[in-house]
Amino acid sequence: MQNPVIERIDALRKEMNEAGVKAVVLPRTDAHLSEYISAHWHIVRYLSGFTGSAGTMVVTDKEALLWVDSRYFLQGAQQIEGSGIILMKDGLPDTPSIAGYLCENLSKGDKVGINGMLMSIDETAVLRSRLNAAGIELDVDFDPIDRIWTDRPALPSDKIFIHDEKYAGESAVSKMARILDSAKAQGAQAYFTSALDEIAWILNIRSNDVPCNPVATSFLYVAPSGSTLFVDEAKLTPEVKAYLAEAGVATAPYASVLTALAALPAGVKVLLSGSRASGAIAHVLEDRYVKGDSPVALPKAIKNDVQIAGIRQAHLRDGVAMVRSLMEIERTVAAGERLTEMDVADILLRHRSKGELYFDLSFESICGFGANGAIVHYTADETSNTVITKGNLLLIDSGANYLDGTTDITRTIAIGEPSADMRHDFTLVMKGHIAIATSVYPEGTRGAQLDALARMPLWKEGKSYLHGTGHGVGHFLNVHEGPQSIRLNDTLAPLTPGMLTSNEPGVYLADRYGIRCENLVLTIPYEETEFGKFYAFETITLCPFDRSLFDTSIMSAEEIRWVDDYHRTVYDRLAPLMEADERQWLAAATAPLK
């Protein structure tokens, strides 16, 4: 029986041939340039079988290729096996860029097709420039997917609900006024965004359109004369309609967005983000847009006092759920009962869902045992689901969305007695984690300037990891949020008080085990001297690390003290919320290392 992926690529090639398109570029995203997408937009998954959250597919008349980053090198190779698709390991020195590959393998006069809604203004401009320099044409209106994917899921129709200001800390009216002030400062009178997390934040609305991401499929035009939310009518309740009207926001059909933008008066200048607005949006606006910085990204990332208070409370409840989950895992293994990776995910969900203000997971739980833990963004399924036995490591990366905050935590735990190598590697990772957690840095410092602190203990032994050390985290919103990050490649966004960021170094040994240690940290003021303002991180996540995995012989006294102090904090804050047997377990789990 032929692999269905091969048949689907053949169908795409037929469409390409009829349209005179020599190659097509298919980013794994949606019309909102999202990282996490609804079933309707899983085009790359449909055409390749790859289920990761990041990747771009290229299909030519001769080859099909899939570009993935380091998180998906192992997973990508496994999932496309037998399809004839070539895995391209993005970021490695010998891997060409997509534009470079196309220029090398196509001829002058050839045409490359894309759906212009699936590529940002900046990405479209770069691709067009590279291709045109080689005499290759870019067609931004090539979208044959509906004809190939005949049973394609519909766009989501979940109802929108209001995120109460008692959790959000600021009204939609106030946010829109700030946005318009920023747009004016950049030479525009209005702002348009297709980014679902921006729309949710601006209007204080949420939905359940994307798994684990409480966003509503829509577009938003913000203007002094009146704003418009482009959304399917079925998603609007009478309460939400009244709420939007009171905030000065009209509604229009989701599918009418391009027509409405094309009809804007000639004198209107609309601010677009070069990285978050699609090339198709810019195309219909023609000369009526200003490309600039998103006026939403920074205010959304800098949490206000109400949000910060909620984040702290959410992490208390999440910490209790994590401790109860770890206790159940430990007791199940000790009793010799069968436990699989999918069972662990179920345990996490069960304990979290009992918590006050719980809404959903913030991402699909990553529970990788042994070799599966070395697959950075591994998700167990019926085929890969592994039984957990003594003698290896279990990596658990999970989180939740509560009405008052979003959590993301990774713990690596030993099942049975850990080997000396496991303890050594774990401690190297923790040394990097502690270096980030204890860092102090001047105002204006970006995550890329701190990233090497986390990697140095590993680098000194010729080890490393290829993913970022930290990403921004939303507030009852997307678990991955910009503009800040801690990674080797610079995102140019300074770490600013109020930003919530992950601290998650790791190390992965293929076919053996993976280790990652993650807490969320809040940027806070540290001190002000004659040299300016200095900032630091406050660790927000509350859950013990596995004490059996620390090798104190390679730790400094300061590092040991940090672990002991952190564990003391975990106990002091979580114990009052727990039962007697849980407090006893927690006391042992947070005892001093020495």
Phi-psi region of 292 (alpha: psi -120 to 50; beta: other; left: phi over 0): beta
Is residue 451's pLDDT more than 90? yes
Is residue 244's pLDDT more than 80? yes
pLDDT digits 0-9 by tens, 85-120: 999 999 899 999 999 999 999 999 999 999 999 999
Q: What is the pLDDT of residue 31?
A: 97
> For the chain, what percent of residues have pLDDT higher than 70?
100
Give the distance from CA 282 to its chain's centroid: 25
Q: What is the pLDDT of residue 10?
A: 94
Give the single-character DSSP code of 85.
P
Rounded CA separation 399/352 (Å) = 9
Q: What is the pLDDT of residue 491?
A: 87
Rounded CA separation 374/549 (Å) = 17
Mean pLDDT of 204-218: 97
Rounded CA separation 555/461 (Å) = 15
Rounded CA separation 72/246 (Å) = 46
The mean-pLDDT minimum among 74-83, 191-200, 354-363 falls in 74-83
CA torsion angle 540 505 408 566 (round to 10): -30
Task: Give pTM, 2 decimals.
Answer: 0.94
Is residue 51's pLDDT more than 60? yes
Strands (E), 409-474: 409-415, 440-442, 470-472
pLDDT confidence of 3, banded at 50, 70, 90?
Answer: confident
Q: What is the pLDDT of residue 70?
A: 85
| Closest by Cα among 78, 84, 343, 36 to 208 | 36
**All structural domains of the chain:** 4-148 (3.40.350.10), 161-300 (3.40.350.10), 302-583 (3.90.230.10)
> For the chain, what percent of residues have pLDDT higher than 90?
94
Tokens standing for residue 192: 């348009």
First-to-last CA distance in the chain? 61
Q: What is the pLDDT of residue 71?
A: 83
Q: What is the pLDDT of residue 1?
A: 53
Q: What is the pLDDT of residue 258?
A: 97
Rounded CA separation 139/307 (Å) = 44
Mean pLDDT of 538-544: 98
pLDDT digits 0-9 by tens, 332-389: 999 999 999 999 999 999 999 999 999 999 999 999 999 999 998 888 999 899 999 9
Contact status, residue 577 vs residue 320, Cβ threshold 8 Å: yes
Mean pLDDT of 393-402: 98
